Structure 1
Amino acid sequence: MSSINPTPRDYNKASVLDVVLSHAPLTRNKLIELTGLSKATVSRAVEELRSDGFVVDGGVDAVAGRGRPSTYLDVPETAGHVVGVGFGAVTTGVLVTDLRGREIGHVTVPTVEHHDVPAAGRWLVNLIAQTSASARGPLRQVVVALPAHVRDGAEVFRPADPMKIFSGRDLHRTVEKLVDAPVTFDSDANASLLQVLTDDASIHNAALFSVSSTLNFATCRDQELARGRTPAFGDIGSLSSGIDDRTLNGLLSTAGLVKFAREHGLDIERVEDLWLAPQDHRARAEILKAFTTAVTTAVSIVAVTLDPESVYFVGRLRPLVDEVLPEVRKRLEQTLPVIPRITTVSQVLGLSVARGAVHACLAMTDNRLRDALLKARSQGPRQEQAAPAF
């Protein structure tokens, strides 16, 4: 059976779908402007996408003076939904949105400690199902972001200590088997950086350190997340911090910093107790000095190897990073000809990482729908149906 190749008309329709998914609600005039296609071509594509179940009329654009008001084009909730999960060592957040990014539901819960991978997978899937209960249309994509290195969207390497059980591919297999949609794993650092890029489109080259249960790292070039060929890529935590034999992960993670504090005479149970310790406490001063050196070392490494415009810090250690940043900048000015902009980003525990995962979901879904549209010609004529056609 010979295949039928997509026509220019198919590609025009795919371009219209791309713009509608990423910019809706929008008027036809705006759609013509963004696609660069003729009015007739856009009108034909819109009607076909309406028949496919991906476009509906939204509100009406109020126009002052003469002229006909423009009807907004929108994406219906029945076109489907996506799920972003921030699966942390302490907190897990789930965010469900439609294909336009409108929130359908979210939940944030303490992460249940599991000693069995299948049980953990079932727990995650139940959480996804509960949060998606009111969603309409098919589930298009799930992205789970966790404090670890991830290869090929499935294999977990060097997760945070409380999550060592999830090393390998078993958790991904379990979740994908239970969910009727594509499932992709990623690092919490990548999800956080994606959220930063979404919030500020002017950022092109950046690096991000997630300083929480483990040190995780992400970087982008021209707004594209960098992904290495091996799990060694981005494993900055294994490098020396510049303090004795401590690695960067030994000082820029919650568990590592608590251990370091106890060894230096500061009896704390949680890393947050560092904020409460007296400013003039001798042991606290030593810890802060070591932490400052580690932050300086980490920024120096990425500054000379990746040349980012901006370096971001997120995670539970963010308040301590805020405290030492003035000294970090002062030290870097003495060693580097130009230092990047260094800043911290506040996050909503559990949900900010899930939000970044949703942005990844939407991009993947957009690409998959475009591919499906272009392949639809070889599938033969479609039957009339209320659900989206692809």
Structure 2
Amino acid sequence: MSQPSHLRQQNRGLVLGLLLEHESISRAALAELSGISKVTVSHIVQDLMHEGWVRPAGRRGGGAGRPAELLELSDQAGTLVGIDLRAGSLELAWSDLRAHQATLTLRPLEGAPIEGVLAALEEVCERAPFGPVRWATVALPAPVGRDGLPQSPNRLPQFDAWRLREACGQRHVPLTFENDANLAALAERLRGQSVHTDYFALLLERESGVGMGIFLNGEPYRGRSGRAGEVGLMQWPLEVPGRSTVLEAMARSPRQEALAYLMSSLSIALDLDQVVVHAETEGLRERLETVLPPSIAVVDSALGQSGPVWGALLTSARRHAAQLLETPQAVSL
């Protein structure tokens, strides 16, 4: 008797999830870890190999009997894309489905930002270094609402998000927009300074503005409307009584001093363990260290200026993995 379609789909998802988690794995290990029978696993693997998702990866000896055949994801199963849109430049990244084999390139923006993003995406789609583009994520200097679109305050208001959505839809490439500071924080959490830290904030200071990404209890905190961390537009008092200005409008030295006191207050109020500094200019970390209590570590970003694009790439990997477990499709080879 054949399995119901929803059960077959669930079993495929379990097997694909394990293949994503392991560089190589045997059929027996897939059956043991998934709880699916060896016969069912063999049928699933046969289908996935026929569709181009999986390929043999040699054999592993040890013990009596014939060495077990190992399996791995095909190197043409799909390409992931991450784009960090900055003021005057764009950083492009592409990788395999695990975001292990990644290529990063920084290029100037000439003309409208949307044209640069479209050209970058077109380039990767044409090259398809690891197979068809499966997901793209764009980092923006703006909060992103529940509808998945950038909202105010947007430091690149001329960027045409709807046009990019339409272009990706025509190419059948799922697209995600996310705030650049949130993505930089995600990258630190997964691959940087905060892998073992559940409560931390990342302070992003760059030409396009100032923002903050927050992780509480190991999860990103976006706030009610997605605007959590928009510290750049907070009012700060001036020396003239009764007058104030937004942080981003201040000169570098007084702005960094204001950010240091602001981060000190927030870090203590949120009971953080760590503050990660991602700044294009020097001096911010030193100012933070003078006002934060010793119990809160202050560290430089492990990923440098590429933090947001790494976060975009890792978001593409996570979003595609979630989709893959639900609706695997045949690979175009």
What TM bracket, shorter-length normalisation? Answer: 0.7 to 0.9
> What per-residue deviation string (whole Å, max 9, x for no partner) do you get for residues 314-372 of structure 1?
1313x31232233123xx46xxxxx43332214343x4322211110111111112222
* Residue among 172, 176, 180 paired with 1:184: 176
For these two proteins, the number of residue pairs brought into alignment is: 323
> What per-residue deviation string (whole Å, max 9, x for no partner) do you get for residues 282-324 of structure 1?
xxxxx36x623421322422431x333322221313x312322
> What per-residue deviation string (whole Å, max 9, x for no partner) do you get for residues 202-222 of structure 1?
232332221112111222334
* Aligned-partner residue type, residue 234 of structure 1: G
Instruction: Return 5+ residue gaps in structure 1 as ranges.
Output: 115-119, 251-255, 262-286, 334-338, 377-384
Distance 1:221 1:32 in 2: 35
* Aligned-partner residue type, residue 79 of structure 2: H
Alpha-carbon RMSD: 3.2
Distance 2:79 2:314 in 1: 12
Distance 2:217 2:5 in 1: 30
The answer to which structure has the higher helix fraction is 1
Distance 1:320 1:221 in 2: 26
Alignment pair present for 1:121 and 2:77: no
Distance 2:144 2:181 in 1: 11
Q: How does 1:90-169 map to 2 (within 5 A)?
A: 90-103=88-101, 105-114=103-112, 120-132=113-125, 133-151=127-145, 152-160=147-155, 163-166=156-159, 169=161
Secondary structure class of the residue paired with 1:149: coil
Alignment pair present for 1:366 and 2:311: no
Q: Normalising by the residue count of structure 2, what TM-score does the alignment of the two structures yield?
A: 0.82
Distance 2:206 2:297 in 1: 21
Q: How does 1:348-367 map to 2 (within 5 A)?
A: 348-349=304-305, 351-367=306-322
From the superposition, tell whether residues 105 and 291 of structure 1 become closer, same or farther in structure 2 (CA, over 3 Å): closer
Alignment pair present for 1:387 and 2:332: yes
* Partners of 1:243 and 1:293 within 8 A in 2: no
Q: Per-residue deviation at 1:17?
A: 0.8
Q: How does 1:1-390 map to 2 (within 5 A)?
A: 6-28=5-27, 30-32=29-31, 34-61=33-60, 63=61, 68-103=66-101, 105-114=103-112, 120-132=113-125, 133-151=127-145, 152-160=147-155, 163-166=156-159, 169-170=161-162, 172-173=164-165, 175-176=167-168, 179-199=171-191, 201-213=195-207, 214-241=209-236, 244=239, 249-250=247-248, 256-257=249-250, 260=251, 287=253, 291-304=256-269, 306-317=270-281, 319-329=282-292, 332=293, 339-349=295-305, 351-373=306-328, 387=332
Secondary structure class of the residue paired with 2:80: strand
Q: Per-residue deviation at 1:85?
A: 0.5
* Aligned-partner residue type, residue 164 of structure 1: P
* Partners of 2:203 and 2:210 within 8 A in 1: yes
Secondary structure class of the residue paired with 2:94: strand
Secondary structure class of the residue paired with 1:297: helix
> What per-residue deviation string (whole Å, max 9, x for no partner) do you get for residues 240-264 of structure 1?
44665555633xxxxx45xx25xxx
* Partners of 2:285 and 2:298 within 8 A in 1: no
* Partners of 1:95 and 1:131 within 8 A in 2: no
Instruction: Return 5+ residue gaps in structure 2 as ranges.
Output: none
* Aligned-partner residue type, residue 232 of structure 2: G
The answer to which structure has the higher strand fraction is 2
Percent identical residues: 23
Distance 2:149 2:324 in 1: 22
Q: Per-residue deviation at 1:88?
A: 1.1
From the superposition, tell whether residues 371 and 219 of structure 1 become closer, same or farther in structure 2 (CA, over 3 Å): same
Distance 2:57 2:291 in 1: 50
Secondary structure class of the residue paired with 1:21: helix
* Partners of 2:79 and 2:96 within 8 A in 1: yes
